[in-house]
């Protein structure tokens, strides 16, 4: 786990990976980005789920932490290949980098508490842990893959 200065951390936003360079330039020149195609947003208060209401939309906080997957790592070790995810998580002014097994993504309570202790809050919303895992994947944009070969001996 590593800690970095919050000023050096990019703002976490949804990324459109289908844009061509020409459309990306045109989108940059216009005022507002297109709306995301999913209901998740990363706010300064944490990850939120946008839901339709009778009067419009409402954002409901899932957690007070914002998280993205920065690297999808495949490790070839003596016991065979395994997949790991490198997460960049932000709470307040602190940004921490943490590596988890890919199967742990569906249990954010475990790794959020490991990273930030009791300061990390998962709000009591039905399916919050599944929403946090899905929001983390969707808000990460194009995730680079890294291959690591371990040696024994």
> What total of structural domains would you count in the chain?
1
What is the span of the domain harbouring residue 38?
Answer: 8-149
* Within-domain flag for 87: yes
Q: Which residue has the tokens 């899905």?
A: 134
In a domain, 3, yes or no: no
User: One digit per residue, pLDDT tens: the chain, 153 residues?
Assistant: 544 443 332 333 333 334 444 444 444 455 666 666 889 999 999 999 999 889 988 899 999 999 999 999 999 998 899 999 999 999 998 999 999 999 999 999 999 999 999 999 999 999 999 999 999 999 999 999 999 998 876
31 belongs to a structural domain: yes
CB 77 within 8 A of CB 148: no
Query: Is 62 within a domain?
Result: yes
- Does any domain span residue 1? no
Q: What is the dihedral of CA 6, 10, 14, 17, to 10 degrees?
A: -150
Q: How far apart are CA 72 and CA 109, in angstroms?
A: 20
């Amino acid at each position: 786990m590593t800690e970095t200065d919050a000023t050096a951390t990019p703002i976490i936003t949804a990324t459109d990976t289908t844009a061509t360079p020409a459309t990306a330039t045109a989108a940059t020149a216009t005022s507002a980005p297109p709306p995301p195609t999913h209901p998740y947003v990363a706010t300064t208060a944490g990850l939120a789920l946008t839901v339709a209401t009778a009067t419009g939309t409402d954002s409901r906080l899932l957690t007070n932490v914002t998280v993205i997957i920065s690297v999808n790592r495949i490790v070839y070790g003596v016991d065979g290949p395994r997949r790991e995810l490198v997460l960049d998580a932000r709470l307040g002014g602190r940004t921490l980098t943490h590596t988890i097994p890919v199967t742990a993504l569906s249990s954010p309570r475990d790794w959020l508490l490991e990273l930030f202790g009791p300061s990390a809050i998962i709000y009591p919303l039905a399916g919050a842990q599944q929403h946090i895992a899905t929001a983390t994947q969707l808000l990460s944009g194009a995730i680079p893959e890294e291959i690591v070969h371990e040696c024994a001996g």
